[in-house]
Structures are given as C-alpha cells and as structure tokens.
A and B are shown apart, each in its own frame.
Chain A
Amino acid sequence: MRLTRRYPFSASHRLHAPELSEEENEKLFGKCNNPYGHGHNYVLEVSVEGEPDDRTGLIFERPVLDDFVRRTALNRVDHVDLNQDVEEFRDTVPTTENLSLAVHGWLRAGWNAEFGNKGATLSRIRIEETARNHFEVTA
C-alpha cells in the first residue's frame, strides 16, 4: 500500500543551458529563458510504500514524514531562486526534470540514513510545476 502526501512550495528559476549560445537558449526555452527568471507554485508529492501497522493502522506517521520532507527537501527549494540558491543548479538547468531528480536524491539519501530499517520505503516522488504538467521519479 502506498501513502502520498502533497507539499506546495514556491520558487523562481531560469532555464538556460551554459553549453548553448544565447540564440540557442532563447530558441529552446523561449520565455523560460528570460534573464530575470520567473516563478512557479510547485507541488511536491512524496509516496511511501509499506504495510499498515496492525495496531495503529498507519504505514508511516504523518508528522515524522512531514518533518523529514521539510528538513530534507522543502527548506532547500521553498521561496528561493533555484539557479542561485541551490548548489545543484549552479551549472545545471533547473528544469523540473532535474529538480525532481535532485529532490529524489536528497530524500533517498536522507531516508536510508534515518528510516533504513523502518520497513516503509520511499517509492515515488512527483513534482507539479504548474497544474498542467508534472514529473515523476520512481524508486
């Protein structure tokens, strides 16, 4: 069984690949290449797979999950400029594909360190960039 929590966060970014010329970037990313950047209200979904405990009926305690996701991921991406404030995106385009991989990497590393022997596994993350597109990384 899979439990999923949804967490909104807001951030700005600019899509610009350093390997490409100004013209190529503008052609590829269009408005998203605007040098001043732009922002989104993202939604992060985190899914945990496991069996509900016989006594409590819970796969995972919600406050523990919320605290973990906040510390490990949300605090790094909420109300920041992804290009300037997040080390992973100093030289990498902060597309939501790359953002999903970064968030998944942080959560996976933290998960194994904190909950490695808890039974429940981190099975999937999904990031909505807008209400009309989303990106998913599975374990």
Chain B
Amino acid sequence: MVLITRKAEFSASHYCASPDLSAEQNEALFGKAARPAGHGHNYVLEVTVAGEVDPVHGMIMDLKVLKKLINREVIDIYDHRFLNHEVPPFNRVVPTPENIAKDIWLRLEPGIHAKGCRLHGVRLYETPDLYVDYFGRRDAEQDGAAAG
C-alpha cells in the first residue's frame, strides 16, 4: 500500500462556545476563543489517500481529481467564511479543529470512495503548533472493538 497526500489551505473565522454551557463556563474552557465576534486562522489541510499503484498509469489517484474534489467539497465552502454562521453543521457544533476534521472527512470520503480509492486520513493544522489527525474508519473500528 502507498499513501499520497495533497495539501490545501483555507482561511476562516470562528469562535468556540458550546450552547450547552454558560458564558462563564465557555470563557473558562475556551478563553479568548469564546468571544462571539470571532477570530480567524489560516488552516492547512492534508488529505491522505491510500491505495495500490496502478500498473498502467502509475498512480494511486489522479491528483487533479483529488485537488478538484478538495476544492469543491471543502475549500469553496470553508474559505473566507465565518464557520459558525455560514457553514453547517457549525451553527450547532462547536468548530474546534477536532470537529472540523470530522466534517472534512465526511465531505471528502464519498468522492474518494467513488473513484475506487480509500481516504486514509485528514490532518488539519489550526495553527503551525496545533493539529489533529482523523482516521475515520480506523477510529470507528476501534470504537466498535471497544463497544464489543
């Protein structure tokens, strides 16, 4: 198996506050990030696809196709937006990098699967010193194993 990773960037604003918590609790938990007027980040996204190298064309997945998919499903929707106000599900789900990575996985997985490839992981940098890795299916398997 070979992994291939495509990078993309988007800039967006957000704030982090849970509707289930009081203003004081949100402030204590999220600090400055809880201010409702919001703040922004230059996010960096790394999308990793796993597969076998095709013996004819020598690729796992056509990078042009992957780039277009990332642009259509993620960048066009997220870039230069206020996530809480403009990008569902973040009108009801706190746009932490954890939740954003999950949402990006859900947006990309069907298109990659439709091309006969497997989405291996989504890495999202909120800042250069903080990132999350989401491996969807692998996490689900672990959940299944834990539940079983």
Contact = CB atoms under 8 A, between A and B. Distances in A.
Interface in B83-104: 93-99, 101-102
B31 A3 contact: no
Given A4-B133, A63-B31, A57 B128 contact: no
Interface string A53-64: 001111101110
A20 to B, nearest CB: 38
Interface stretch (B4-12, B13-21, B46-54, B70-78): B13-21
Given A1-B134, A1-B139, A63-B31, A58 B129 contact: no
B15 to A, nearest CB: 12
Interface residues of B, number: 25
A57 B99 contact: yes
Interface centre among B16, B98, B133, B134 (most CB of A within 10 A): B98
Interface string B21-65: 100000001010000000000000000000000000000000000
Contacts of B29: 56, 58, 61
A7 interface: yes
A76 interface: no
A52 B29 CA distance: 14
A4 B130 contact: yes
A2 B132 contact: yes
Q: Which 6 A-B pairs have the closest CB atoms?
A: A57-B96, A57-B94, A52-B98, A6-B129, A2-B133, A57-B99
